Structure 1
Amino acid sequence: MCKKYKLCKIVLCSFLITSFMFIFAGCSSKTAETTNTNSQSKIKVVVSFNAMKEFASAIGKDKIAITTIVPNGTEPHDFEPTTESLKNLSSANVFIYNGLGMESWTDKVLKSIDNKNLVVVNASKDSNPIKNTDAEEIEEHGEYDPHIWISLKGAEVESKNIKDALVKVDPSNKEFYEKNYDEFSKQLKDLHNEYTKKFETVKNKNFVTGHAAFAYLCRDYGLTQNSVENVFAEGEPSTKKLKELVDYCRQNKITTIFMEDMVSPKVSTTLANEIGAKVEKIYTLESKEDNKNYIESMKNNLEIIYNSLK
């Protein structure tokens, strides 16, 4: 009787385990299917940092799901990718990065993932880049100034490259992406034309920023920037450099020192106090700031620069 009881117990346990496994497998299968269905309903886009997200969002809208690698409040120049970054890229359809040396980690990351179908977008492709002139910057960061997105003309180039990639990956929605790009491009052109006329009316073309991120904007409107820190926001100025900035500000009647979110305010504030100027915030769009989109941020930048020059 004892052996029969044990045998019955074993058979019953086996039956229950098999049943639970079957039920669990069925549930898991449905969960995975639902997840896949949801994820497949949108194109999975990974972007390097906020400005690329702004352009992708303007064109892809609700057809795409965006993951940003560099968190808000983190300097993209110095960022080191995480395991999560690799995981996101391994399952993505599109990866968008600025290029021109902005994301020094891109090549290393792309070599380390296994995603043969990933469409990689160098958003600054076919642009007209500005060359760095400082030998140390060239050696450490590369030949070009990467801040092309802080230019309405640069934004048009980058958003077109993004649009072309989305059309390639999702040709059935080509008209949708083309329409959104045309609308965004018109916004960029209208804003550019508005401020081209405004900047033509000012005699003083010089302004001072926290770091030298606005060369492309300057090129668009014939302006000149002088900055506390270099193109890659590295290092506080020497006493000699600070004195030169003070002299520059006085000679050019600078009334505003512009300061960016991720650059130390100490030197900018010291400089402003020395010349009796005010400090005003300007956007680099490397992070999402004050809940403004690209057009709103750039309009703010252009307006406060224009007002400082009047």
Structure 2
Amino acid sequence: MIKRLVAVLFSVFALILAVGCGQNSNSNTTNSKVKVVTSFNAMTEFVQAVGGDKVEVATIIPDGTEPHDFELKAEDIKSLSSAKVFVYNGLGMEPWAEKAIESAKNDKLVSVVASKGVETIKNTDEEEIKEHGAEDPHTWLSLKNAVIEVNNVKDALVKADPSNKDYYEKNAKDYVAKLEALQKDYAQKFATVAHKDFVTGHAAFAYLCRDFGLEQQSVEDVFAEGEPNAAQLAELVEFAKSHGIKTIFAEEMASPEVSKTLAAEVGAKVETIYTMESKEDDKSYLQRMGDNLSKIYESLK
């Protein structure tokens, strides 16, 4: 009887131990993911493309928030204090980033400026330079620049998690191939159009224009900080009419109403264009970039 009782107790103990070990195993699996914090959506997508199921990503700037207007909160700094990697665009897009890194006091944090290595476009407006810096920060809206940013993300993940180096490198290579294929496709298409000018609400597409030999005219300035006065609007109306502009592009977070007003003045239609600062329409970076290029191409034909 005693032997049977001991056997039963031993079996129960073994079962509890097995369950406990199973729970610890699951916990370790979860915890083994590299915790990455990003500044906004485009950076998040690049990390997810490279990191796959090896990363756990948190985005600081909420969807629907204009990044230029974002103010850092205490919980954002707390998230950085326990992260392994922090990815942000740089060039004044996140003026709070360096302060956040310093305040997090995380000496193991691998931080990367995703735009490092990009040939930047200089701002020319004195007020923009004074308030934001000398360079246009919208680097991720260029497929060529996206290749650079993805590789910077890959290098950061490899540094933080060298045991999965091959995995990150393969994912980066595959994603870069998709970026380059889309670039090649539209480089050929844009080479066939005679008109190179398009009008958008937010002057965020200078790098995209450089990639394809296009020119943008905008309702607002580079940092989405102001609406045109009557004289500036009249100038845009004249430009649109003289260049046969039939489409005015608008972004949800950059005064779409002004774009609609301009469109009404010149008899043009309004089309949405993505800046990839927030997740929109449940589409990936590649899908939204493809949509952007398709719409711009069709407007120039």
**Is 2:283 the partner of 1:292?**
yes
Cross-structure match for 2:145: 154
Q: Which moved more, 1:72-81 or 1:209-218?
A: 72-81
How do residues 171-182 of structure 1 correspond to structure 2 at under 5 angstroms? 171-182=162-173
- What is the percentage of aligned positions where both structures have the same residue? 58
For residues 198 and 256 of structure 2, what CA distance do their matches in structure 1 show? 17
How do residues 11-160 of structure 1 correspond to structure 2 at under 5 angstroms? 37-160=28-151
Residues 187 and 90 from structure 1, CA distance in 2 versus in 1: closer, same or farther, beyond 3 angstroms?
same
**Is 2:248 the partner of 1:257?**
yes
For residues 67 and 267 of structure 1, what CA distance do their matches in structure 2 show? 33
How do residues 186-225 of structure 1 correspond to structure 2 at under 5 angstroms? 186-225=177-216
Amino acid at match of 1:154: N
Please report how far the alpha carbon of residue 38 of structure 1 lies from its aligned counterpart in structure 2 after TM superposition: 4.7
Cross-structure match for 1:279: 270
Amino acid at match of 2:261: T
SS in 1 for 2:236: helix
Amino acid at match of 1:191: L
Q: Deviations over 1:180-232 (max 9, x none)?
A: 00100100110000000000000000000011000000000000000000000
After TM superposition, which residue ranges in structure 1, 4 or more long, deviate above 3 angstroms? 32-36
For residues 214 and 281 of structure 1, what CA distance do their matches in structure 2 show? 14
Which of the residues 232, 255, 269 maps onto 1:241?
232
For residues 36 and 118 of structure 1, what CA distance do their matches in structure 2 show? 22
For residues 109 and 208 of structure 1, what CA distance do their matches in structure 2 show? 36
RMSD (Å) for aligned C-alpha atoms: 1.5
Cross-structure match for 2:3: none
Please report how far the alpha carbon of residue 40 of structure 1 lies from its aligned counterpart in structure 2 after TM superposition: 2.3
Q: Given the two structures, how large is their TM-score scaled by the length of structure 2?
A: 0.91
For residues 161 and 51 of structure 1, what CA distance do their matches in structure 2 show? 14
For residues 145 and 87 of structure 1, what CA distance do their matches in structure 2 show? 29
Q: Deviations over 1:242-268 (max 9, x none)?
A: 000000001110000000021112211
Cross-structure match for 1:184: 175
Give unmatched runs, 5+ long, in structure 1: 1-28
For residues 52 and 58 of structure 1, what CA distance do their matches in structure 2 show? 10
Cross-structure match for 2:7: none
Q: Deviations over 1:154-189 (max 9, x none)?
A: 100000000001111111111111110010010011
Q: Deviations over 1:105-162 (max 9, x none)?
A: 1111112111000000100111101010100000000010000000100100000000
Q: Deviations over 1:19-77 (max 9, x none)?
A: xxxxxxxxxx99x9679625422000000000000100100011000000000000111
Amino acid at match of 1:47: T
Give unmatched runs, 5+ long, in structure 2: 1-19
Please report how far the alpha carbon of residue 273 of structure 1 lies from its aligned counterpart in structure 2 after TM superposition: 0.4
**Is 2:279 the partner of 1:302?**
no
Q: Given the two structures, how large is their TM-score scaled by the length of structure 1?
A: 0.88
Which of the residues 250, 258, 268 maps onto 1:267?
258
> If you compute each CA radius of gyration, which structure gives the higher value, 1 or 2?
1
SS in 2 for 1:65: strand
SS in 1 for 2:112: strand
Q: Which moved more, 1:167-176 or 1:63-72?
A: 167-176
Amino acid at match of 1:192: Q
Q: Which moved more, 1:33-42 or 1:182-191?
A: 33-42
Q: Which moved more, 1:166-175 or 1:240-249?
A: 166-175
Amino acid at match of 1:279: V
